[in-house]
Amino acid sequence: MKLNEIKQHMQKTVEATQKALNTIRTGRANSSLLDKVIVEYYGTETALNSLANISTPDSTTIIIQPYDKGSMGAIEKAISLSDIGLTPNNDGRVIRLNIPPLTTDRRQELVKIASKYGEEGKVGIRNIRRDAVEAVRKQEKNSEISKDESQNLQDEIQDITNNYTKKIDELLAIKEKDITTV
């Protein structure tokens, strides 16, 4: 496994962690809260953002305007069943989601969820490191590289791992600050 491949895999893990963190509510309206909402649309599971226009006219409201008015009920049901904790209000043309201010307890729960996502990202990075180090050790065992080269590559892999783990920690710190800021 080449070092560039390792970096690419780790960068994808960081991006996946960022997407997961974006789905956590911070008390402000953000259309990415609905990224994980899947709607049962004519027998097919479809992402909400491909069925409707999602906008945030102010910091406490998300407006969902379906492209097909017939999908309003399915969208409403999917939002109600999702884990975002918001109640949809349907006026016949659009669905409104009002974002209530977060309680202190809810903020603490959201910080725990964010930490869990961060830890999952770090585990993914450590798994990539483990696979890369195993590949290097296998090359050393097969006499394809020397012991010194093996150690140097393992040190480089560890440095790359530390760098990407630090990036996840930074993303997590930013998200925790967003969540805890009243």
Instruction: Give the pLDDT confidence of 163-181 residue by residue, as tens digits.
Output: 999 999 999 999 999 888 8
Portions of the chain given CATH number 3.30.1360.40? 28-98
> What span, in angstroms and rounded, lies between the C-alpha atoms of 74 and 91?
14
Portions of the chain given CATH number 1.10.132.20? 3-21+103-180
Q: Which fold has domain 3-21+103-180?
A: Topoisomerase I; Chain A, domain 4 (1.10.132)
| Average pLDDT in the chain | 88
| CATH 3.30.1360.40 for the 28-98 domain, yes or no | yes
* Residues 43-59 pLDDT 10s: 888 888 888 898 888 88
What's the burial of 145, exposed, middle or buried (CB within 10 Å: 0-12/13-18/19+)?
A: middle
* Residues 4-15 pLDDT 10s: 999 999 999 999
Q: Which two tokens stand for residue 98?
A: 């009002």
Model confidence at 182: pLDDT above 80: no
* Residues 92-140 pLDDT 10s: 889 998 887 778 888 888 899 899 999 999 999 999 999 999 999 999 9
